[in-house]
Structure 1
C-alpha cells in the first residue's frame, strides 16, 4: 500500500539507501540519510520508522520506541511502520507483541515475503504450529518456485503432527520439477532423506523401504541410508534382509551397540545361540571391544564366569586403564560383582607369580615392562572396585592404589593412578588431600586438558575457588576477559554450577546466586540461539538435524545442570526469605574471613554487624568494579568492557522479594520437568510460604505420585496436615477442594503415630530418620512446647542412623548439621562418624 506521504524521486532514492544501510549494518550512514529525508518531510512515517530501527541498533531502545510510535501516528496503514514496530519488539524478545505487529503489517501488504518470513520465524520460536502452517502456506502460494518455501511448509506440518500432509507437500514439490536434480545437489539429498524420515515416522515401514530403495543411489548420507534400511527390514519382519543390513553396518563400525542389538533381533537369538554369534563376531573383529563385552550383560552363573574371564584377561593383559569403567555397569548384580572381584584377584595372583623378580624392580629409562604395566593396572582395577559406591571399602582401595603407585615409574602411568587415588580420597571425604593428589596428577602432564579440568573441579569441591579459576585459566584466553569471563563466554556450565555450589557451602549466597543466575542466562541464550537456525537450516538444507534440534530445545529446561542450579537457587531464596540478615552475613566473609554468626547475636549487636557487613560489601564491590574498569576488550579496539554493577551478587542476595525470585526458577521445573521429585517438593515449600495452598497441595500430590515413600514427601504430608489442623482461615471453596483431594494424610491415627509408623517401616534409612526428626520438631512447634525427652529421642535417633549399613557420608554430614541445629552432642557424633569415615575432613577434630 502506498505511503500516506509519498516522497519525491530524490528522497525516494535516499530512502532506498536507508534500507540498504540498515541491511549492511551501516547504522550511522543510515541515520544520516534518514535525517536528510526528514528535513524536507518531517512527517514521513516510514522514514521515521527506519530512524527508530537504526537508533535501536545503536542500543537506544526507549528512544527507538518513541520514534516508532510517532511513525505509526503519521502513517497507520504503512506495512513498513508496522513491520519495524514488530522488529523492535522482537529485539526485546517480546514475541507476542511482535507477532501482533507483523500481522498488522500483513493486512496492508499480504504478499510480502519478508514480513511472512519474519512472522513464521517467530511462530515456530513460540511453537505456534497452526500459525506457522498458515504463514508457510502463504509463502508457498506467493513464491511456489522456491524449494525452501515447500520444505518449510512440510516442516510445519511435521512438527504439528500431520505427517501425511508433510509427505504430501514434499511430493507435490517433486512433481513440479521438470528434471531430477543432480547427485551433487546436497539440498536435494537432504530433502529426499527427510521425506523418507517423515514416511517412517508415520509407521508405514513398507512404503518407507520402497521409497528408500528409489533414493538410495542419489542420497549422499550413506550411513543414514544403511541404518534406515536395516531398521525397516527389521520392523517389517524381513529378518534375513535385516541381518545382511546390520552386518554391513558392523563392517563399518564394530563398536556401535545398536547394530549388535539389531542383528540379535534379526536372528531371533536366544540362549547358547546368542553367545555363539558373539564369539563369531569377536573372532571376525578381534580388535573390537563390543562383541566381547556385550555377552556379559546377558550371561549368568558359570557361563558368565567363563566369558568374564576371557574378557578380563584380554583387557588386563593390554593394561587398559578403562577396564573397570567398561564393567561397572554390571555392579548392580551382586553375583556378577563378586565373580568379577574373584577373577581379578586370581589374575593378580597369577601375574605376581609370573615374574616375581621384575615386579618389585625399580624400572629403568622411565618405562615399565609389559608385565609390570599389567600388574599396575590390575591393582588399579581392584582399587576402583573397592571404591565403588556399592562396596566403598576405602582401606582396601587405598592399599591397592598405593601398591600400584609404588610400582609405577614417574611417567604417564602416575597421572592416571594419582587421579584414581584422588577419587578414592574424595569419596572417603578427604577433599583437601584429594585436591592435592589431583593437582599432582595434573603436574605429570600439564598439557592435558582433562587433568587440568578435573583438578579445577576438585579444587571447587574443596572450596578453593581462587585456585580453581587460576587452574582453569591455564587453558583459557584470560588476557582479555579473565578466566571467569572466558568460562562465562564459553558457557562452561559444569564449572559455573560447581563454583556456585561451593559458594553455597561457604555461606556466600550473593556469589552463589551470581553463578546460578549465570546458568539461567546461558539456558535463555540457548533458547534464543535457536531463532537463527529456523532460517539457517532451511538455507543450508540440514532439515533432519533441524528437526532434532527443535525437539531437543523443547526439553532443554529439563537439563540436569539447570535442575541443579534451580534447586540450589530456590533453597537460597527460601533461606533468605526466613533469615534476610544472611544476605549481609554471606558478604561479610567475601575477603576470606569467617562469616558472621548473626543467629547468636543480640538485636543491637546484629544491627552493628549488618552495618559492618554492608560497609565491607561496598568496599569489595568498589574494588571489583575498579578491577573490571581497568580491563580493556582487545577484540573491540581497546574499548572498556561493560562493567558488572553487582560483581559479588549483593543485589541478588538482598532482594526484597525472595519468594518471587524463587518462583522464577520453579516455573520451568514444574512445566518442563513434572516428574522431577525435587522440583515438586521445592514447589510445595514455595507455595506454602506464598500462601497459595491449592498450588502447594498440587505439588504435594504430584510428589506423592512420583515417590510415596520418599522422606521429604513424608515430612511435607505431615506439615500440610499440621497446617490444616491449626484451623487457618481458609475460604470455604479452598477448604472443600482440600478435603476432597488431600486423602494421603492419616485418618485413623494421629500424626505422631503416622510419623513413628513411617520410621518403623523404613528402619534402615538414615534419610527416613531425618524426616521423622523434622516431623517431630514440626509437631512440637505446633503444640507450642518441646519436651526434653523428645529432644533426647531425636538425638539418639541421629546416632542410630549414623551406624546403619546404608548410611552414606553425605547422610552423616546431614545428620551433623541437624545435630548442630538441635544444639546436641556434636563432639560425640563427630567422634562416632570418624570411626566409620576416618579421613573425612568434615568430622576432623578441631585443633
Structure 2
C-alpha cells in the first residue's frame, strides 16, 4: 500500500502507520494517523482515514472504524487502499461476499496488487468460489512464477475443480525447476500429493511408477508403503501388495487394516486359509491383539472355541476392562455368542468349586479372575436384556470387591438398559465419587444425570472440571462440549421447555459455524508448510462437517421445536402454546408457577455469583482476535418469539438434506416441514427418499397417507407440475389406492410395534371416525417381544395426542408395558402425591 498525493513528511508517517498495523502497535499507528489528519490540507485524506479506521477496528471501536473507512472511501473512490481496507473490515465481520466485492473494486485500480490478490484468493476458497479461486491463483502464478506458492496454489485450485490432468501438468512443470535440490520434507509431500491426484484420476499405474521412481525423495515411509500396497492391490499385483502390507504389519502389528489388506492380497476368500495367515502373523508378534481378533472373526466351530477359550482366560486373568466391547462384534453370530456364554459359565462354576478356570488347570487363579468372570457374565445377560440375572451376577461382583469401580459402572448400564435412569444415576454416581479425579467417570455420570432429567446435578458434577468463577454451563459451551448441549436439548424437549431447547440447538449450530470459520487460518498455512494432502482432507471435511451426529441431533430437536411453535404459536415466556395453559388442571398450573419461581430464583442466584467472580473470570477469559467483537449471547426466550418458525427450521433442515441424505430421520423432518409449507413436489421427494433410504421407517405410513390426502383434497394446478405429480404419485401408489398400500405395508411390517402403531395412526388420519377402533387395536397389541425403545416410542406419541387417547387409555398401555419392563420408570404408575422431579 502506498499513499498518493502526500508530501515526504506525511508519506513517511503513512508508512509508519502501515508498519504499526503489521506489528500490532495500534495506538502508535493511531497517533501517526492523527498527525497527518491534523494538517488542514490532508484532514480529508482518504487513505489515511481508511488506515485510521482499520486501526480503530483492531482496538474494538467498530462504529468509529466504519465511519472513518467510509469517509475515506467517499473522498477517494479510486484508491485501491481504501477499497482494500474496506474489504478487510468486512472480512473481520465475516461478511465474506461483501469483502470479495471490495477486493474486486480494489483490483480495478491496481489489478496486479499481490496482497489484494492473496486476500481475495483466501476468501474465495473459504466461500468455495472455486472458479474464482482458480482465476485468482492463475493471476498470482503469472505475476510471481518464481514462487512455489503460486504453482502449488494453482494446482490446488485445479484439483478441487476436478481438473486432474491440468493439476498434474502444473505440478510436474514446477517440479522440473526443483531438480538437483536435496530432498526435504516439503518436496516429499509435494511428490505424495501429486501421487494422490493420480489416484483420484484413476491413473493407478502412473501413480505406482511415480512413487517408485521417487522412492528416495519421499521421506514419509509409512505413507509411501500404504499407497504402494493399495495401488498394487488395485492393479491386481497381489504378491507385491502382500509383501508391502506385511512390511507395514511389521511396523505396526496392531493395525487391523494392514492385516485385512494382507489377507485380501493373498486372494484367500476361504476363511480357513485366511485363518492360517492370521495365525502366522500372530506367531510373529505373539503379544499383538489385532491378528488374534481377526482370527476370531474368521474362525468357526471347534476352532473358534479353542481360540476364544485361550483368549478369554488370558484377558480375564489380566482383568482387561474393555473385554466385553472387544468381543461384542462377534455376538452377531448366535453360535459364537452361545459358545462364549457357555465358556464363561464353565469358568464361573470351576472358579467357585476349584478356584481354576477349568478343573484340569494346574495353577489356581487369583480372586480377581473370579471377579472379572462375574462382571462379564452380568454384561452377557444385560446384552440379552435378562435384567434379573444380570443384576444377580453384578451384585455378587460388588460383594466380592466393594472397592472396585467397574461393577458399579456395569450396574448403572444394566439399569439404563432396563429403563430405570434414576437407579442408573445412583450407581454411576457411586462410581464417580470413588474417584473424583477421573474425567471419564465424571462425564459418564453427567450424561446419565441429563438422561434422568437431573440438569442441576449434572451441572454440579461438570463444575469439578470447569473454570472456577464461571458457571459450568458457560464454560462447557465455551469449550464446544456438544454432547452436553445435545443431551440438555433432549431433556428440555421432553419437558417442553422450548426456549432452552432452541438456545442449546443454536449454540451447537454456532459451534459448527466456528469450526468452519477456523479453517480460514489454514489456507495460507498449508501452502506455506506444504501439508497439501492434509489440507485437501480438511477442505473436504469442512464441506461435510454438518453431517456430524452432533449437528444431526441438534437439528432434529430444533426442527421439531419450530414445528411445534408453528402449530401452537407462543403465548407467554414459558414457551407454552395458546391452548396448553387452558388445558392444564389447577394442580398443573400451580406446578408451573412454582417452576417459574424456582427458575427466577436460580437465575438471580447465578447472576449474583457471576458478579462476585466477574473479575477472576474476565482475567482468564480468552480475548477475541483483533478487530473482532464477542458475538451477542444466544437467548432462548427471544428465539421462541420467531414470526417465521418454518423459515428458521429450514436453516437446520437444508444442511441435513445436503449432508445426511442417508439418514431416514432427515426425510421424515423434511416431509413435516414441506407439508406445512404446502410444497407438494418437495413432499413427494421426501417420501421417495425416505422409502429409498429405509422403507421400514415407521413414519412413512403416516406421511404417505398425508401426501395422498393432500393430493386428493388440494390437488395441483394444470400444466407441467400437475403432470409431474401424476407421474410421481403413480410410481408411489401404482393402484392409486392408499388403503391398499397400507394393507400391503401392514402385511410386511405390522408385527413391529412402532410400525403397527403408525399404521393405525395412518388409518385414523384417513378415516377419522375409526380413531377409537384404531386406538383399541394399539391397546390390544401383544407386546411380548417388543423392545423397551418401541414401547417408549408409542407412549411418547400417545402422550402427544395421537389417536386422541384418554388418560385411562394411556394408563392401560403403560400398565401393559410395566408388566413387560417392571424397572422402566416411564411405565410406572404415578402416585397422587408424587411431585415432579424434573427441573
Q: Please indicate, yes or no, whether the TM-score normalized by the shorter chain is above 0.5.
A: yes
1:653, 1:571 → 2: CA distance? Answer: 13
Question: Aligned runs of 1:604-623 on 2, under 5 Å?
Answer: none
2:38 aligns to what SS in structure 1?
A: helix
CA contact 2:674–2:680 (8 Å) conserved in 1 = yes
After TM superposition, give the deviation of residue 532 of structure 1 in Å. 0.8
Residues 1:694 and 1:206: Cα distance change in structure 2 (over 3 Å): closer
Q: Does 1:379 align with 2:377?
A: no
After TM superposition, give the deviation of residue 138 of structure 1 in Å. 1.8
Q: Does 1:170 align with 2:171?
A: yes
Greater mean alpha carbon deviation, residues 523-532 or residues 95-104: 95-104
CA contact 1:196–1:212 (8 Å) conserved in 2 = yes
Cα offsets for 1:205-256 (capped at 9, x unmatched)? 3433333234433433232223223333333333333333222221221110
After TM superposition, give the deviation of residue 614 of structure 1 in Å. 8.6
Residue 591 of structure 1 is matched in structure 2 by: none
Residue 323 of structure 1 is matched in structure 2 by: 323
Q: Does 1:813 align with 2:808?
A: no
Q: Does 1:512 align with 2:491?
A: no
After TM superposition, give the deviation of residue 172 of structure 1 in Å. 2.0
1:276, 1:606 → 2: CA distance? Answer: 68
Residue 439 of structure 1 is matched in structure 2 by: 429
CA contact 2:272–2:299 (8 Å) conserved in 1 = no
After TM superposition, give the deviation of residue 357 of structure 1 in Å. 14
Cα offsets for 1:60-90 (capped at 9, x unmatched)? 4455444433333322221111212222222
Residues 1:764 and 1:660: Cα distance change in structure 2 (over 3 Å): same
Q: Does 1:600 align with 2:583?
A: yes
After TM superposition, give the deviation of residue 505 of structure 1 in Å. 1.7
CA contact 1:501–1:512 (8 Å) conserved in 2 = yes
After TM superposition, give the deviation of residue 440 of structure 1 in Å. 0.9
CA contact 1:585–1:613 (8 Å) conserved in 2 = no
CA contact 1:624–1:647 (8 Å) conserved in 2 = no
Residue 36 of structure 1 is matched in structure 2 by: 35
Residue 221 of structure 2 is matched in structure 1 by: 222
The one of the two structures with greater contact order (alpha-carbon pairs below 8 A, sep at least 6) is 2
CA contact 2:137–2:150 (8 Å) conserved in 1 = yes
1:839 aligns to what SS in structure 2?
A: coil
Residue 658 of structure 1 is matched in structure 2 by: 645
Greater mean alpha carbon deviation, residues 604-613 or residues 81-90: 604-613
Residues 1:33 and 1:286: Cα distance change in structure 2 (over 3 Å): same
After TM superposition, give the deviation of residue 482 of structure 1 in Å. 2.7
Residue 835 of structure 2 is matched in structure 1 by: none
Residue 365 of structure 1 is matched in structure 2 by: none
Residues 1:697 and 1:51: Cα distance change in structure 2 (over 3 Å): farther
Residues 1:778 and 1:599: Cα distance change in structure 2 (over 3 Å): farther
CA contact 1:584–1:613 (8 Å) conserved in 2 = no
Q: Does 1:492 align with 2:481?
A: yes
2:443, 2:2 → 1: CA distance? Answer: 62
Question: Aligned runs of 1:49-448 on 2, under 5 Å?
Answer: 49-177=50-178, 179-181=180-182, 183=183, 185-269=184-268, 270-355=270-355, 370-388=365-383, 391-410=384-403, 414-448=404-438
2:95, 2:731 → 1: CA distance? Answer: 43
1:46 aligns to what SS in structure 2?
A: helix
CA contact 2:33–2:52 (8 Å) conserved in 1 = yes
Greater mean alpha carbon deviation, residues 237-246 or residues 492-501: 237-246
Residue 755 of structure 1 is matched in structure 2 by: 742
2:122, 2:219 → 1: CA distance? Answer: 29
2:137 aligns to what SS in structure 1?
A: helix
Residues 1:780 and 1:60: Cα distance change in structure 2 (over 3 Å): farther
Residue 836 of structure 2 is matched in structure 1 by: none
TM-score w.r.t. the length of structure 2 is 0.90
CA contact 1:102–1:119 (8 Å) conserved in 2 = yes
CA contact 1:621–1:648 (8 Å) conserved in 2 = no
Residues 1:233 and 1:675: Cα distance change in structure 2 (over 3 Å): closer
Greater mean alpha carbon deviation, residues 260-269 or residues 702-711: 702-711
After TM superposition, give the deviation of residue 682 of structure 1 in Å. 0.9
Cα offsets for 1:259-286 (capped at 9, x unmatched)? 1112112322234322112222222211
Of 833, 836, 839, which residue of structure 1 is paired with 2:820? 836
CA contact 2:350–2:356 (8 Å) conserved in 1 = no
After TM superposition, give the deviation of residue 395 of structure 1 in Å. 1.4
Greater mean alpha carbon deviation, residues 488-497 or residues 391-400: 391-400
CA contact 2:446–2:458 (8 Å) conserved in 1 = yes
Of 648, 656, 663, which residue of structure 2 is paired with 1:669? 656
CA contact 1:157–1:165 (8 Å) conserved in 2 = yes
Cα offsets for 1:314-357 (capped at 9, x unmatched)? 33333322221111112222222223222322333333333289
CA contact 1:625–1:643 (8 Å) conserved in 2 = no
After TM superposition, give the deviation of residue 504 of structure 1 in Å. 1.4
Cα offsets for 1:132-159 (capped at 9, x unmatched)? 2222222222222322222222222222
CA contact 1:764–1:804 (8 Å) conserved in 2 = no
After TM superposition, give the deviation of residue 96 of structure 1 in Å. 2.0
After TM superposition, give the deviation of residue 36 of structure 1 in Å. 2.4
1:532, 1:292 → 2: CA distance? Answer: 44
2:430, 2:598 → 1: CA distance? Answer: 36
CA contact 2:225–2:244 (8 Å) conserved in 1 = yes
CA contact 1:721–1:745 (8 Å) conserved in 2 = no
Cα offsets for 1:458-487 (capped at 9, x unmatched)? 1111111111111112122233x3322221
Residues 1:287 and 1:111: Cα distance change in structure 2 (over 3 Å): same
1:125, 1:189 → 2: CA distance? Answer: 27
Residues 1:587 and 1:441: Cα distance change in structure 2 (over 3 Å): farther
Of 810, 830, 835, which residue of structure 2 is paired with 1:846? 830
CA contact 1:585–1:597 (8 Å) conserved in 2 = no
Cα offsets for 1:102-157 (capped at 9, x unmatched)? 12222222222211111111111122222222222222222223222222222222
CA contact 2:313–2:357 (8 Å) conserved in 1 = no
After TM superposition, give the deviation of residue 754 of structure 1 in Å. 3.9
CA contact 2:498–2:640 (8 Å) conserved in 1 = yes
2:520 aligns to what SS in structure 1?
A: helix
TM-score w.r.t. the length of structure 1 is 0.89
After TM superposition, give the deviation of residue 508 of structure 1 in Å. 1.7
CA contact 1:496–1:519 (8 Å) conserved in 2 = yes
CA contact 2:355–2:365 (8 Å) conserved in 1 = no
1:627, 1:381 → 2: CA distance? Answer: 46
Greater mean alpha carbon deviation, residues 672-681 or residues 522-531: 672-681
CA contact 2:274–2:298 (8 Å) conserved in 1 = no
2:778 aligns to what SS in structure 1?
A: helix
Gaps of at least 5 residues in structure 1 are: 360-368, 589-594
Q: Does 1:795 align with 2:767?
A: no
2:621, 2:348 → 1: CA distance? Answer: 63
CA contact 2:702–2:761 (8 Å) conserved in 1 = yes
Residues 1:20 and 1:734: Cα distance change in structure 2 (over 3 Å): same
After TM superposition, give the deviation of residue 204 of structure 1 in Å. 3.0
Taking only aligned residues, the RMSD between alpha carbons, in angstroms, comes to 3.3
CA contact 2:411–2:427 (8 Å) conserved in 1 = yes
Residues 1:661 and 1:469: Cα distance change in structure 2 (over 3 Å): same
